[in-house]
Amino acid sequence: MHIYHEWCCATHLTDKGICSMKYITDDVLKRAFVTMMNKLVFGHQIVLRPLLQSLRGMNDKSQLLKMQDLESQIEKNMEQRQVLTSLMAGGYLEPALFNKESNALAVEAEALRQEKDSLMHSLNGNMVKTDELQKLFRFVSKGIMMDGFDDEAFLTYVDSITIHSRSEAAFELKCGVSLKERLVD
């Protein structure tokens, strides 16, 4: 008796009678992964190197300058709030005007903080993708073709798989790249 694993969609699991898709065997997905990795070994200079250079370029200058600008604006906002508080304490401002201006500065400060957090998240995400891409590039640049499925390589580089049809799957890699591969029985 030969045991093999099959992959199918949630609809198929619930009621295979209403699902138009058939199962896909584990071996087919493993062969597609090996084929995809071998293609990367062969073409990594054309496919991965330009992407790696692009990601490295994204992590510097313009985003770092934007981060410095945001920090400067946040500091200026804090100074304006301190001046406003000093004017109120000195009796130079009406309470209603103080509240109006203070609220406006608080809203501006929150918007600046959110923009800074978003930019930090983007920078960190790009750095993670760059690191993952560098790891993949080092692996495939060794020039060693895979002759069989390697669990460790799969878990190291693949984030998820999307099945487009019985004949095509997309491997979503941890570096942010999605590569389509034919599924051959």
Please write the tens of the pLDDT for every residue from 17-66. Answer: 776 667 778 888 999 999 999 999 898 888 888 877 777 666 566 777 88
Residue positions counted in the chain: 185
Return the axis-axis angle of helices 95-140 and 61-89, rounded to nearest 10°.
Answer: 160
- The answer to whether residues 159 and 128 touch, using CB atoms and an 8 Å cutoff, is no
The whole-model pTM stands at 0.63
Residue 151, in any domain of the structure: yes
Residue 163, in any domain of the structure: yes
**pLDDT number for residue 157:** 94
Query: Which range of residues forms the domain containing residue 27?
Result: 6-182
**pLDDT (tens digit per residue) in 68-127:** 898 999 999 999 999 999 988 888 888 888 899 999 999 999 998 898 888 777 777 677
Alpha-carbon span 142 to 25, nearest angstrom: 30
Q: Is 53 helix (H, G, I), strand (E, B) or coil?
A: helix
> 150 pLDDT exceeds 60?
yes
- The answer to whether residues 48 and 133 touch, using CB atoms and an 8 Å cutoff, is yes
Residue 1, in any domain of the structure: no
> 1 pLDDT exceeds 70?
no
Residue 47, in any domain of the structure: yes
Total of domains in the chain: 1
Residue 45 or 5, more confident: 45
Alpha-carbon span 80 to 113, nearest angstrom: 16
